Amino acid sequence: MPLSKSNATRRKVLKLTAASAALPLVHIRTGRAAGKVSIAFWDHWVPTGNDVMKKQVDAWAAKNQVEVQADFITAVGQKNILTIAAEKQAKTGHDVQAFPTWEVHNNAEAMEPIDDVMKQLTGQYGQVNSVCEYLAKIKGQWMAVPTSSGTQYKGPCGRISLLKEHAGLDIVGMYPAKSEHTKASDDWTWDAHLKAAEACKKAGKPFAIGLGTTTDSVDTAGTLFKAFGAELVDKDGNITVKSDKVRAVLEFGKKLVPVLPDDAVSYDDASNNRALISGHSALIWNPPSAWAVARRDAPAVAEDCWSFPAPKGPAGRFEPYLPYFWGVWSFSKNKSAAKELITFLMQRDNVQERCAVVLGYDVPPFQSMLDFKVWDEVGPPTGTVYNYPLRPFHEATAHIAALPAPPEIAVQIYNRGTMPTMLAKLKSGQSVDQVISWANDELEGFTR
């Protein structure tokens, strides 16, 4: 049909052209025609954790007509870290990766800034804690989104009866399953921890704290150092190991290490779990995974377990915290859809659904989400994990070992297990001076 002159003015044609040019952009932003997105999740140790994640991803994919490939990559043998390293080198792979603790910093130059997603999420749910910021906000830009999947606190998990019987410690009274600060919790200090550890060792139920180089050992040692204000490297990258505070924590360490198990130096992340589940230990530092396994394999032990915050030191109370992040590669072919998927998965209902399925193991990064019922309800005993996520009345701060050192140095302190190795050296009979000298030499290598 021929267009009449009045219908096809120059202005109308320009408008139509501009509108049609803008269409594909709008289309991509919604993710609807984005085609395909691939995402690598951390393979949850609770199988149903993967199932619920898959269900949520499928729901988003169906709604947005995007083909989503979700892979679950195990952390066993650090396969997830190897996959991340390989994808970074090859500049191809998944669009979205689950980055454990230090991997955002290790791979930041190959990642897409994600401030827009964080702006939306923090607008909805409030700020995240300082550890998340330290690990994922680089040069003022968020490079990944702190997620709940795999994020954990690693405070003490003790046997109620054994601690009461051998150390006179009423951990349920100290940290009841309700939003209440108790006087007894103020007395939960590292000295009290040492006293209880000595008593339990005497009773043949030692605190199963490792001095190896795997994360459980590193996180516990890290929080002990922090509680004494002992920093190996300060925030500006200066080596500060030859300080009074480091000396003080090592002096304390000299008293602590003899009451730890004889084989503590060869502990890995499973050793402490086994010690608790088998009934050989009165206390470990771990997320509730050990309790969850005991629930299946040793119900009597599980019924006697209680998670509670870390003890307080001269510099405060610090709780070991290991967050996971979801980030988008800069070489991703579908960044907008990838960001939309992350935003969707971090919505409160979805986080809550996933959290409930894994018995509260996954901790959301937002304080506003700590009112999920799962921590009140799961058991036995009911309320065993109520105090597992940090709550305001705990008066504790989330902490990761080696903070506040610049992350490129901290990652080496963490992964080389410098702090537990310092304690292990004390256990092998070395003096405080020898240990400090060794650590100084190591740190010089890390700060190159």
Binding flags for another protein, 25-64, as an x/- string (CB under 8 A): ----------------------------------------
d(CA 380, CA 401): 31
Contacts for 59 with CB less than 8 Å, ≥ 6 apart:
none
Residue of the chain from 177, 411, 436, 443 that contacts another protein (CB under 8 A):
411
Q: Are 407 and 307 in contact (CB under 8 A)?
A: no
Backbone dihedral region for residue 237 (phi beyond 0: left; psi -120 to 50: alpha; all else: beta): left
The correct pick among 38, 50, 148, 213 for binding another protein (CB under 8 A) is 213
Residue that the structure tokens 């193991």 belong to:
361
Interface with another protein (CB under 8 A), residue from 425, 432, 436, 439: 425
Task: Note whether 275 binds another protein by CB under 8 A.
Answer: yes
User: What's the burial of 16, exposed, middle or buried (CB within 10 Å: 0-12/13-18/19+)?
Assistant: exposed
The residue (of 125 and 446) whose beta carbon lies closer to another protein is 446
Cα R_g (the chain), whole angstroms: 25
Identified binder of another protein from the candidate list 244, 263, 371, 433, rule CB under 8 A: 263
From CA 375, how far away is CA 355, in angstroms rounded? 9
Number of residues that bind another protein (CB under 8 A): 43
Judged by CB under 8 A, the residue of 241, 335, 412, 419 near another protein is 412
* Nearest distance, CB of residue 199 and another protein, angstroms: 20
Q: Which of 9, 65, 74, 78 binds another protein (CB under 8 A)?
A: 78
Q: In which residue are the tokens 């040692």 written?
A: 221
Find residue 312's DSSP bridge partners: 189, 317
**Site for another protein contains 212 (CB under 8 A):** yes
Q: Give whichever of 135 and 358 is closer to another protein, judged by the CB atom.
A: 135
- Closest contact distance (angstroms) between CB of 136 and another protein is 15
Which three-class secondary structure state does DSSP give residue 111?
A: strand
Residue 101: exposed, middle, or buried by beta-carbon count in 10 A (0-12, 13-18, 19+)?
buried
Binding flag, residue 264, another protein (CB under 8 A): yes
Give min distance, CB of 284 to another protein, in A. Answer: 12
Q: What six digits make up the tokens of 30?
A: 């919604």
Give yes or no for residue 203 binding another protein (CB under 8 A): no
243 in contact with another protein (CB under 8 A): no
**Could you say which residues in the range 89-108 bind another protein, by CB under 8 A?**
89, 102-103, 105-107
Task: Choose the stretch contacting another protein; rule: CB under 8 A; options: 56-64, 68-76, 184-192, 438-446.
Answer: 438-446
Distance of closest approach, residue 355 Cβ to another protein, in angstroms: 28
Strand partners, 111: 329
CA 1 to chain centre: 65
* Strand 137-138 to 141-142 pairing: antiparallel
Of 392, 413, 388, 408, the residue nearest 320 (C-alpha): 388
Q: How far is 103 from 381, CA to CA, in rounded Å?
A: 36
- With H, G, I as helix, E, B as strand and everything else as coil, classify residue 402: coil
- Cβ proximity to another protein, 119 vs 242, nearer residue: 242
Told to check if 162 binds another protein by CB under 8 A, we report: no
Smallest distance, Å, CB 251 to another protein?
A: 20
Closer CB to another protein, residue 319 or residue 442? 442
Is residue 271 a contact residue for another protein (CB under 8 A)?
yes
Q: Is 82 in the site for another protein (CB under 8 A)?
A: yes
81 binds another protein (CB under 8 A): yes
- C-beta closer to another protein: residue 104 or 398: 104
Residue 86 CB neighbours (<10 A): 11
Minimum Å gap between C-beta 417 and another protein is 8
By beta-carbon proximity to another protein, the closer residue of 277 and 385 is 277
- Find out whether 129 and 321 touch, Cβ atoms under 8 Å: yes
Question: Amino acid identity of 415?
Answer: N
Residue pair 398/424 in contact (Cβ under 8 Å)? The answer is no
Query: Is residue 154 a contact point for another protein (CB under 8 A)?
Result: no
Under the binding rule (CB under 8 A), the answer on residue 262 touching another protein is yes
Is 134 a binding residue for another protein by CB under 8 A? The answer is: no
How much of the chain is in helix, strand and coil states, percent to nearest 5?
A: 50, 15, 35
210 touches 271 (CB < 8 A)? yes
Q: Contact residues for another protein (CB under 8 A)?
A: 78, 81-82, 85, 89, 102-103, 105-107, 109, 211-214, 261-268, 271, 274-275, 278, 280, 408, 411-412, 415-417, 421, 424-425, 428, 438, 441-442, 445, 448
